[in-house]
Amino acid sequence: MYLSEFQKIFHKNSHYSGKIHKSLYMIYIEVFNIIDKLYLVFFEKIAISILQKKTKKNGKF
């Protein structure tokens, strides 16, 4: 979700490239991959709970 925005920012600032910049970029990718996975799991759980509540009320999908 957020990764593409950071990629754009880093590509704009590519003239700052170097070992430090590349390592920071890798850290950002790792952090945002973890955040993306957490968000996906979180929203998946919410969606399942909403579906379960609706199916309990209606008795069908």
The string of pLDDT tens digits covering residues 10-58 is 666 555 556 666 777 888 888 888 888 888 889 899 988 988 888 777 6
Q: What pLDDT score does 28 carry?
A: 84
pTM as predicted: 0.41
**Residues 1, 37 contacting (CB under 8 angstroms):** no
Q: What pLDDT score does 1 carry?
A: 47
Closest residue by Cα to residue 28 from 11, 6, 9, 8: 6
**Interval 3-10 mean pLDDT:** 66
Burial 4-21 (b: 16+ CB within 10 A, else e): eeeeeebeeeeeeeeeee
Q: What pLDDT score does 58 carry?
A: 66
